[in-house]
Amino acid sequence: MRDLCLLEIYRRVHRSLGDSRGQSTYGYFEVYGLHIIASTGGGWDHVSVSLPDKIPSWNMMKAVRELFFKPEETVVQIHPPKDREVNCHPYCLHLWRKQGFEMPLPPTEMIGRLNKTKK
């Protein structure tokens, strides 16, 4: 995860997190109209992304991923077993990255075609 101090221009005061200015490991941010809570600790990097009235789109989540995580990091959305599901907000999605762990990925051809930049 990027150092959250690099995202100060998007940082806001949150009712439960308070004023997190200058914190490199957690904070509340508003960007692209999204409400974002980011944290790092306990071996995980985590970003929750929400809107007041709809689920964030794929493109919104991709933009958040690019802003909060480094290009070489694999970031996932997790769908846990039914008995471990938690839903505190109907329009919130989460991005996760396990620290110190290289997430195995399926072969590229199973994911889809690579985006090759034309020269």
Q: How does DSSP assign 27-70, residue by residue?
A: EEEEETTEEEEEEEETTEEEEEEE-SSSPPPHHHHHHHHHHHS-
Check pLDDT > 80 for residue 115.
no
Can you give the residue range of the structural domain that contains 8? 4-111
Residues 23-79 have pLDDT tens digits of: 999 999 999 999 999 999 999 999 999 999 999 999 999 999 999 999 999 999 999
Report pTM.
0.88
Number of domains into which the chain is organized:
1
**In-domain check, residue 117:** no
**119 vs 116: CA distance, rounded Å:** 9
User: Does the residue 118 lie in any domain?
Assistant: no
Cα–Cα distance measured from residue 2 to residue 90, given in angstroms and rounded to the nearest whole number: 27
Q: Amino acid identity, residue 95?
A: L
Tokens representing 52 are: 């007041």
Residue 40 lies in a domain: yes
Residue 119 placed within a domain: no
pLDDT at 94 over 70: yes
Q: Is residue 90 part of a domain?
A: yes
Tally of CA atoms within 13 A in the half-sphere of 74 that contains its CB: 9
CATH number, domain at 84?
3.40.1720
Is residue 8 within 8 Å of residue 27, measured between CB atoms?
Answer: no
Look at strands 11-12 and 44-50 and give their pairing: unpaired
